[in-house]
Every structure is written in C-alpha cells, then in structure tokens.
Chain A
Amino acid sequence: MKKSGINRKTLSLGPVLFHWDAETKRDFYFRIADESAFDTVYVGEVACSKRTPFFAPYVPEVVERLQRGGKQVILSTLALIMSKPEIEQVIDLSKNTNLLIEANDIGTAALLMGRPHVIGPFINVYNEDTLEYLANQGAVRISLPWELPSESLSALAKYANAEVEAQVFGRMPLAISARCYHARAHGLHKSKCQFVCADDLNGMNVETLDGEDFLSINGCQTLSHTICNLIGELGELQGMGINAFRVWPHAIDMVAVGQTFRDVLDRAITATEGQEELAEYVDFAPFSNGFYHGGEGATYVASP
C-alpha cells in the first residue's frame, strides 16, 4: 500500500488537547507553520465535542498556512463518540476533506476503512494481529498507545506494514470519560460547563491529599501530571525501525521543543544536550518515561 505523503523520520506535532482560546490557537499554529521543525501537524478537537465549534471557523486558514509552511496536515478527531451529533461531526469531516484523518475512536476508524487514514493513540493497538488488521483496512500510519513498553514497540515496529508512530513528549492522556471533571471540580454540570476548562492551558492540577502533584484534568480527559519525555530513547526507537515521533503541544515554546527533537533526531546535538534544553523549556512538571521501560508510567528512568 502506498504510504501517502509520509516521509521517513517524521517529527509530528499532536493535536492541541486543551481548550485554548480560538485565536490563541490559530496564532500558535501560524507560528508552527512558519517557524517550526515539525513535518506533520495534527489539527482537531479530541477531548470534547462541545469545543469543536470554537475553532472550526479557523481550521481552513490554519490548514492552508501549515501546508504553505511545508507541513503535512492530518485532521484529528474525538477520542470518545457517544452521540449522533458527535458521529455526524466525523461523517461530515470525512466527506469534506482530502486530508488524512486520524481516527481516535473505532467508530471513526470504521468510517475511514477502505481509504488511507491514520489510527490515533486512543485506539487500542497492543499486538501484531490488530496492527495488521488495521493496516489492511487502509491505515497508513498507526500512532501507538503511550502505555506500550519498549518490547511491544519493538515487536510492532518490526511487523509494521504501516508506519508506526511513538509518543515521545507531553502529558499522557491517560483516560477519557463521559463525565467532565473540569465542570465537576467547579460544581458545574457538563451541559452548563461555562467552558471552565479554558482557564487551564496545560490542564488543571490534581494533587493527592498529601499535597503531591498527581494528575491533570482537561475536561473529560485525565492526563498525567508528568511529561512523558523519550528524547533519551530516540536512538533506541530509531534502531527498532520507528520513524515517526509525536510531540504533544503544551503552552510552552513548542517551536523550541520541536527544534530540540529535530536536532537530536538529526544527530546535530546529543540526547543529553537535548534533555538539558527541554528542561529549560518545561517549568511546570517533571519528566517521566516509565511506560517505555516497562514500569509505572509516572517514573523517570535515567539513561545508562
């Protein structure tokens, strides 16, 4: 199968998971288009269908600007589809675009089967048989779950008849729910949420009763407090045959973050130098890489 327009050693910018103000988000993407080292940029609402209308009017100009900047644009979709209007959002999208669409719910994947599409990391791909099945239905890229240990990543990369992408930077979107915890924490109901999620650009902090940072809330989504960071493992990942790397956007200098990953992938700087640069850009949470090393996702295992 033709891997439409996907390059080797692809650095991707995942969709913005948080509910940023629409114009802020537009300007963010303009800067990514003009200045960043990303090859692929995912655009689209993943966490909550109520947010989709805010950014929808800006999508065409954002896509155009990104394409002018030489970026491949992939349209991301909702992680949990429960209602008719939600599936209709996806059906409309699939009818009205020639761009690749990333499915994050199996219902969306089903709609896209038979044409080239991307399987997002919210779809459970844990083994070769599932990977093969989805690739045979037209998935040209499969972005693997953040939870997979290196042994699984390696096995899947070997087997892949589609390009596989690893999650290498950002808070991990650990869970999705029908319930909105942002609204709940503010004493509101999801139907009258007042979009309080817009206040927290990197998610709302959740601490334990002992005052320890624990998780981060983004509407219906629960993310890790820690920031997954596999810059030290990029070499290993490439050695396995993985050639696409996803960085998740946060309200920090993502152009700089992208450049650091690009420089390490291109061997322009060492992973240690890259790590030092990232530590300068991230000031709100520690790094983790525990899932990759087969343990607790919250932990950080120092490189040997």
Chain B
Amino acid sequence: MTAALELVCPAGTPASLKAAVDAGADVVYAGFADDTNARNFPGLNFTRPQMKEGIAYAHERGCGVFIAVNTYPKAGNPDPWRMAITDAATMGADAIILADIGLLAYAQRAHPQLRRHLSVQASASNAQAIGFYHRAFGVKRVVLPRVLTIKEIAALNAQVPVETEVFAFGGMCVMAEGRCSLSSYVTGQSPNTDGVCSPASHVCYEKRDGKLISRLGDFTLNIFSDGEAAGYPTLCKGRFVTQDMPSYLFEEPASLNALDILTELAAAGVSALKIEGRQRGRAYVNQVVKTFRNAVDAASRGETVAVGDLGAMSEGGRETTGAYEKIWH
C-alpha cells in the first residue's frame, strides 16, 4: 500500500474539463484565455463565465480546480496577472499555480487564503529554491521541473516542507522550464511572457522535391521523406546537424510516460501526478485520464495493473521516461 497519488489533469477547454472530471481526475488545471498562462494558444482556455461554470461542474463532482497564472508579468503591465489571481480567488479555485516572484508576493498579500502552488515554469530544482518559495510566499506545493531523476526527487522530498507534483504523461520540455528562450529567439514571442512555445502562427510547411519541410519562423526544423510521419515543429524536437550528422539533437519526438514507474514515484514521496496536454482534445484527455485513474488506484492498493496502451496518444507514437532515469541525461 502506498498513499494515493493525486491525479491533476489538463483542461484546455470547457469540453476537456468535463472529459477530465468524468474520466476520474482528482483535480483539473486550467487557465484564462490570455497571456497569463503558459498555454496561450488560439481557441484554448477559459473566459470568466466558462471558468465559473467549469469550477461548479468540477466541484459538484468532488473534483478540484487549479488555475494556472504561470507566465511572467511584463514590466509596466501587472494588471492582467493580478486580475487573474483575484478572479481565481473570487470564483473559488482550489489553488493557483504561479511562477513569478513578484506575483507570488502579490498573491500572498492580496489573497492570503488562496492556496499557492509553484509552477514548473519557476524551475525550482533544489531544496534551497523550494525552501525559499515556501518560506517567503507560503507555497504549499511545487511542480518539479522535468530535469530530475527519481533518486534526486526522493532526496529532495526528504528535505522540503512542501508537497511535490511531477509530470506523468505528455509533451516534455527537454530544457529547464521557464528558462528557455529558444522559441522567442526564432518567433519573437516569449514562452515566459507570452505563454506560447513554437506557436502555430509561425509554423509553415513546404513541399520540396517530394519532401515535406517544416519551418518555425525563418528556420527549417525538419525535413520528412515520403511516408515519414511529419510531427509538429516544436523547436527542441526538430532535426538538426552537428558534426556533419543530422539527428534529433535535443530529443526525439516522444511523450513522457511514467505509467510504469508510479510505485517508484510514490515511494519517492511525490504527492501528485500531472498530465500534460491542455492543447490536446477531449479524446486524449478521456483516454489518458482513465488509464492513469486505473493505474493510480491499482498502485494505491499495492497492485500492479496491466497498463493500457497510450502509444496512440504519444508524440510520434513513442514514449520515454525522460529525466526520471539517469540514462536520459
């Protein structure tokens, strides 16, 4: 028997929110439809009335709602971020997920009763950093950056006075989150302040000599031969040339999948699992959440469960345990 891991699931739209709640999420996380959150894509996220309804739908079914306000406010314009926090408090969100130090200070000052979590975008990867956010801003939970091994996570949990949440499934940053300006170098839009990485508005595909070229801004990110599955040109999943050799230098297109290591994560002292994918559709949310619900319930009973196949839900149909295993580094 291990303590049940809380399952925190993506809600990019009201429809996904319902799908996640119905599929057995303990908590859904969502953002407002503007640049205050790190999935600021066209057609995603919640208006204020939608958020209110979504919270009601979730709460009626015993499911929590976290609101991500996890981009960095731009100098001279803190109001949209502060308003997002105030609205989250008024609407009865169960927690807000923040990354910026100034915003954490504001939230603590203006809405001390609203539970504060530290976003992965703050990239708090050591006990001193986590201890600081707890001490200074009363942060109750930290979402760990996807750079740590299970061994490092266990060591960390032994030292910190807060809950930790780790990514269990979905698209994976290979760089330390919130500390990457690769996409803004190419597109001029900053993941940290605009909430978009490799935005579709800057993507184009070209046909050349029977090959498909994917580009982001002015740069070619990949060239696919006939019959090769063409993935979305996320910058760090592109194919580049070093030492005269083309390769997926940073990471092969693959999804993180921690289904096989849930027991280890629980034993490492992790409190919650996060499913990535607010930009994904209802079918993804439904299938991934159901699979993890079953696996988490089984793990908490001390059973291993024949895990469902999530290959079809993965980028490029491939899966990785990422940084959790030393071999990835």
| Residue B30 is within 8 A (CB to CB) of chain A in the complex | no
Q: Contact check, B101 vs A130: say whether CB atoms are below 8 A apart.
A: yes
Contact residues in B for A298 (Cβ distance below 8 Å): 185-186, 217-219
**Least Cβ distance of A158 to chain B in Å?**
9
Q: Contact check, A133 vs B185: say whether CB atoms are below 8 A apart.
A: no
Q: Which of B129, B236, B247 contacts A106 (CB 8 A)?
A: B129
Q: Contact check, A176 vs B245: say whether CB atoms are below 8 A apart.
A: no
Q: Contact check, B240 vs A215: say whether CB atoms are below 8 A apart.
A: yes
Contact residues in B for A131 (Cβ distance below 8 Å): 102
Known contacts A181-B250, A206-B242; A128/B102 CB under 8 A = yes
Known contacts A124-B179, A296-B188; A186/B147 CB under 8 A = no
Q: Could you tell me the distance between the alpha carbons of A88 and B204 in the complex, rounded to whole angstroms?
A: 46
| Residue A147 is within 8 A (CB to CB) of chain B in the complex | yes
Q: Contact check, B329 vs A180: say whether CB atoms are below 8 A apart.
A: yes
Q: Contact check, B220 vs A208: say whether CB atoms are below 8 A apart.
A: yes
Contact residues in A for B220 (Cβ distance below 8 Å): 208-210, 212
Those of B145-189 within 8 Å (CB) of chain A: 147-148, 152, 155, 174-176, 178-182, 184-188
Closest B residue by C-beta to A185:
B242
Known contacts A130-B100, A177-B174; A297/B185 CB under 8 A = yes
Q: Could you tell me the distance between the alpha carbons of A124 and B219 in the complex, rounded to whole angstroms?
A: 26
**Least Cβ distance of A142 to chain B in Å?**
12
Contact residues in B for A111 (Cβ distance below 8 Å): 128
Q: Could you tell me the distance between the alpha carbons of A145 and B72 in the complex, rounded to whole angstroms?
A: 12
Contact residues in A for B178 (Cβ distance below 8 Å): 124
| Residue B125 is within 8 A (CB to CB) of chain A in the complex | yes
Known contacts A179-B329, A296-B184; A129/B241 CB under 8 A = no
Most buried by A among B76, B221, B223, B326: B76
Q: Which of B102, B152, B181, B240 contacts A130 (CB 8 A)?
A: B102
Q: Which of B78, B105, B148, B155 contacts A133 (CB 8 A)?
A: B105
Most buried by B among A110, A178, A207: A178
Most buried by A among B127, B181, B187, B323: B181
**Least Cβ distance of B40 to chain A in Å?**
15
Q: Contact check, A224 vs B329: say whether CB atoms are below 8 A apart.
A: no
Contact residues in B for A81 (Cβ distance below 8 Å): 125-126, 128-129
| Residue B222 is within 8 A (CB to CB) of chain A in the complex | yes
Q: Could you tell me the distance between the alpha carbons of A206 and B250 in the complex, rounded to whole angstroms?
A: 11
| Residue A3 is within 8 A (CB to CB) of chain B in the complex | no
Q: Contact check, A207 vs B75: say whether CB atoms are below 8 A apart.
A: no
Those of B36-94 within 8 Å (CB) of chain A: 72-76, 78
0/1 per residue, B227-265, Cβ < 8 Å to A? Answer: 000000000101111110111011100000000000000
| Residue A68 is within 8 A (CB to CB) of chain B in the complex | no
**Least Cβ distance of B326 to chain A in Å?**
7
Known contacts A87-B126, A130-B102, A180-B329; A175/B179 CB under 8 A = yes
| Residue B275 is within 8 A (CB to CB) of chain A in the complex | no
| Residue A54 is within 8 A (CB to CB) of chain B in the complex | no
Q: Could you tell me the distance between the alpha carbons of A145 and B155 in the complex, rounded to whole angstroms?
A: 31
Q: Could you tell me the distance between the alpha carbons of A297 and B184 in the complex, rounded to whole angstroms?
A: 7
Stretch from A4-12, A148-156, A269-277, A279-287 that touches the partner:
A148-156
Known contacts A110-B129, A132-B102, A151-B75; A296/B185 CB under 8 A = yes
Q: Which of B106, B125, B185, B188 contacts A82 (CB 8 A)?
A: B125
Could you list 6 examples of A-B contacts with CB < 8 Å?
A128-B102, A185-B245, A210-B223, A222-B250, A298-B185, A298-B186
Q: Point out residues on A near B: beta carbons under 8 Å.
A: 79-84, 86-87, 105-111, 113, 122, 124, 126-134, 145-148, 151-152, 155-156, 159, 172, 174-181, 184-186, 189-191, 204-212, 214-215, 217, 222, 224, 290-291, 294-298
Q: Point out residues on B near A: beta carbons under 8 Å.
A: 72-76, 78, 99-103, 105-106, 122-129, 131-133, 147-148, 152, 155, 174-176, 178-182, 184-188, 190, 192-193, 213, 217-223, 236, 238-243, 245-247, 249-251, 323, 326-329
Known A176-B180, A178-B323, A296-B186; 10 more pairs at CB < 8 Å: A105-B126, A107-B132, A126-B192, A127-B75, A129-B73, A159-B75, A175-B180, A179-B251, A179-B328, A207-B240
